[in-house]
Amino acid sequence: MIKVTIAGATGYTGGELIRLLINHPDIELKWLTSTSLVGDSISSVHRDLLGECSLKFTDEIGEPDALFLALGHGVSKEFLNKAAISSQCKVIDLGNDFRLDGKFGDESFAYGLSELFYEEISNSRLVANPGCFATAITLALAPLAEAGLLNNESHIHAITGSTGAGKSLGQTTHFSYREGNISIYKPFKHQHLAEIDNTLNRVSNSKIGNINMIPMKGDFTRGILASIYTEIDKEMDMESLIDLYSERYSASPFVHLSKEGISLKEVVNTNKALLHLERHGKYIHITSIIDNLLKGAAGQAVQNMNIMFGLPQDRALKLKGSAF
């Protein structure tokens, strides 16, 4: 059994990691750390785990084979510098500390977008889990980038649920603000843009066009829907475009191309990413949907752990969507 520690297990992502890992047949979840809730039961914070997890929060990291960092952004590097963990322990960081610059001492974090960097992840001890917007948008555009077709500007409107802002309450995450409301935030300057641009340039065989992104806050709790369009210089019919995407993700148990239009509830509570393509004259329009807490965070982290330990990618991740 693989012994696991989750550092920072009190937030939404930490709760989802616990839910997935206590049902993982190859995992023994041993240590769940918190600086303020030592000795409290897990179910006192994650009420949905009442009767399923008897562990208590601790300030001990233990001696894990795998360590998940579900800490605040900018905290992981400091934590690892202070923590006494084995050089054999595999680390999956869900923060943003190592997404753009993976260097850490004499080692480097692999960028953990599972479908694009499987081999690198499988050979790495350290993995930086991608951001949620970055996951949805990069999966939508990567096949075009790899084929040298992403030369023109891409335009993105992407809407996310309130859990994307984390558990701490703020003015724009409060129910009285969010309910029945939609708003734009950080237009053209969201922090995930650099991550998206960096990854697409890595996989492209030519320079990609500018990525324009308008993020939006939705009046729902979880999920991301990204509406993306770009102009393609090369003439490609729909059949060729569908073949391009189908072949690219043929080995993925989670990324699927839908012939029909897609809606957010089809991926909520799953580790799936669904894509839908349409051609409109010189433009291709792509809809991409994920659950921000699963494929955009905890689910992809477990998927990466599975890859790192040579397990099937979908182990403990065969989850049903909540479409009704």
Cα→Cα distances 208→69, 191, 201, 229, Å: 32, 19, 6, 14
Per the residue annotation, which of 132, 226, 244, 293 is the catalytic one? Answer: 132
d(CA 213, CA 117): 24
d(CA 110, CA 177): 38
Contacts of 235 (CB under 8 A, 6+ apart): none
Active site residue 89: no
Q: DSSP readout, 3-67?
A: EEEEES-SSHHHHHHHHHHTT-TTEEEEEEE-SS-TT-BGGGT-GGGTTT---B-BS---S-SEE
CB 286 within 8 A of CB 140: yes
224-231 and 211-217 as β-strands: parallel, antiparallel, unpaired? Answer: unpaired
Contacts of 69 (CB under 8 A, 6+ apart): 7, 8, 76, 79, 80, 91, 92, 93, 94, 95
Q: Which residues are identified as catalytic?
A: 132
